[in-house]
């Protein structure tokens, strides 16, 4: 049987080559993957035109995946630097790259990504619409926006963030409920502004069926953007956020009816004690569709350290059911991240994801931790580097502070508990001084 999308194949009992690859990576049976793809609880973001893709699955019952946001802006416009960030992110284990470029030759960079990058590629077409047409926002038509969606799909983009859940009703809600931070989603703010200036309905909502046909043709996953995500703790869980989430649940059903895969994007700033509840509400309203979260950031006062605030929230979110973590860098709220910011953001997100996978008892997730324990017990430094998330950095710290004795570190020296216990249990003399 021929099939257009992974979901269509799964619903008809077909295990695709992509499902086989995901099953192998996740230590699961292919039928397990097929069943959950059919139900919409696993997405395999794999555009038919992305030929160099290293396929991964996204779902709460799989390893938590990491997305890295990149792309140029008017103030930072070097695409060569962005490509270096892309390859560095892939080498550090990022499963997805989102191109958020808002300046210059966006189409050329996007096609370079889908022809050279093995990670899943995501984009936000509403950003690109103004750049593509080189016209002010208010002059664009609904057809212009939809045509850019089609262009991105043709270019091989695996998932598209579309802010379909914000409607003209949202305009009144924002005015009535007086949020502290209003809308902080860049895409959401553009749609909100367009609706205000033109008096028209959100084109991504009004022409959703046409968008579904485009996504079905190329097997593009829709990432339903949360235009009303909270941008500060005070706005978490408010009417605007929850009303949009209900609409995203309805849009999820409509996409699944057309065999189009869906992810649902989740909140940005959320108090720590509300993170788990947010995940459970989403799972209920969106029927288990994979949840893709930015952070969540659990305090508003740490600019320069938001990779840490996001990792705290991300670990709790993933443990409670989030499937996909969008990394946050130290530059969040401040600037376009440089290569070092990208690295710190990825490492923080991978720590959060891995910690959550262990808590969820994902198959084999803790194996590497157990190997690290064995290496530390034997004071096997080379073995520890092999297990480390960032071996080069770990090794550099030890090399910069070289201990007097190779079987110790410069913190404890011969007072090392591991060394003393090994010698004591082997009936050896324990020399301290």
pLDDT tens digit sequence for 232-257: 999 999 999 999 999 999 999 999 99
CA distances from 143 to 102, 129, 146, 210 (A): 20, 11, 5, 10
Angstrom distance (rounded) from CA 336 to CA 73: 8
Q: Does residue 69 have a known ligand-binding role?
A: yes
Shortest CA distance to 360 belongs to which of 94, 20, 26?
26
Q: Which pLDDT band, with edges at 50, 70 and 90, does 102 fall under?
A: confident
Q: Does residue 227 have a known ligand-binding role?
A: yes
For residues 311-339, average pLDDT: 97
Q: Does residue 416 have a known ligand-binding role?
A: yes
Q: Does residue 163 have a known ligand-binding role?
A: yes
CATH 1.10.287.3240 given to domain 6-359: no
Q: Return the domain boundaries, the chain.
A: 6-359, 367-425
Shortest CA distance to 223 belongs to which of 279, 182, 263?
263
Q: Does residue 133 have a known ligand-binding role?
A: no
Q: Does residue 226 have a known ligand-binding role?
A: yes
Q: Does residue 132 have a known ligand-binding role?
A: no
Q: Does residue 127 have a known ligand-binding role?
A: yes
Q: Does residue 412 have a known ligand-binding role?
A: yes
Q: Does residue 164 have a known ligand-binding role?
A: no
- Whether 177 has a pLDDT exceeding 90, the answer reads no
Q: Does residue 187 have a known ligand-binding role?
A: yes
Q: Does residue 292 have a known ligand-binding role?
A: yes
Which pLDDT tens digit goes with each residue over 263-311? 999 999 999 999 999 999 999 999 999 999 999 999 999 999 999 999 9
Evaluate whether 318 touches 352 at the Cβ level (below 8 Å): yes
């Amino acid at each position: 049987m021929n099939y257009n999308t992974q979901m269509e194949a799964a619903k008809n009992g077909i295990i695709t080559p992509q499902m086989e690859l995901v099953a192998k990576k996740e230590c699961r049976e292919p039928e397990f993957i097929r069943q959950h793809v059919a139900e919409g609880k696993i997405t395999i973001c794999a555009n038919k035109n992305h030929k160099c893709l290293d396929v991964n699955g996204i779902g709460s019952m799989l390893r938590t995946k990491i997305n890295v946001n990149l792309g140029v802006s008017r103030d930072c416009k070097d695409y060569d630097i962005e490509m270096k960030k892309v390859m560095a992110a892939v080498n550090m284990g990022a499963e997805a790259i989102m191109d958020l470029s808002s300046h210059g030759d966006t189409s050329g960079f996007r096609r370079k990504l889908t022809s050279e990058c093995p990670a899943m590629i995501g984009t936000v077409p509403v950003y690109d619409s103004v750049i593509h047409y080189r016209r002010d926002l208010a002059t664009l038509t609904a057809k212009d926006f939809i045509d850019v969606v089609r262009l991105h799909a043709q270019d091989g983009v695996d998932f598209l963030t579309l802010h379909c859940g914000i409607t003209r009703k949202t305009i009144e809600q924002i005015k009535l409920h007086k949020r502290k931070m209003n809308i902080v989603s860049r895409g959401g703010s553009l749609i909100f502004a367009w609706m205000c200036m033109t008096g028209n309905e959100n084109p991504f909502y009004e022409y959703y069926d046409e968008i579904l046909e485009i996504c079905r043709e190329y097997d593009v996953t829709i990432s339903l953007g949360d235009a009303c995500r909270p941008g500060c703790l005070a706005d978490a869980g408010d009417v605007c956020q929850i009303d949009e989430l209900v609409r995203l649940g309805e849009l999820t059903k409509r996409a699944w009816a057309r065999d189009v895969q869906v992810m649902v994007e989740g909140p940005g700033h959320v108090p720590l004690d509300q993170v788990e509840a947010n995940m459970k509400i989403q799972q209920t309203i969106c029927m288990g569709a994979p949840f893709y979260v930015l952070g969540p950031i659990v305090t508003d006062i740490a600019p320069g350290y938001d990779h840490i605030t996001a990792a705290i929230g991300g670990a709790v979110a993933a443990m409670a059911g989030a499937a996909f973590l969008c990394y946050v860098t130290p530059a969040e709220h401040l600037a376009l991240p440089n290569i070092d910011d990208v690295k710190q953001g990825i490492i923080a997100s991978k720590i959060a994801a891995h910690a959550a996978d262990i808590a969820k008892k994902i198959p084999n997730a803790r194996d590497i931790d157990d190997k690290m324990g064995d290496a530390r017990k034997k004071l096997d430094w080379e073995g520890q580097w092999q297990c480390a998330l960032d071996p080069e950095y770990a090794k550099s710290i030890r090399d910069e502070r070289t201990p007097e004795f190779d079987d110790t570190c410069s913190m404890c020296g011969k007072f090392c508990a591991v060394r003393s216990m090994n010698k004591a249990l082997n009936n050896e003399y324990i020399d301290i001084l």
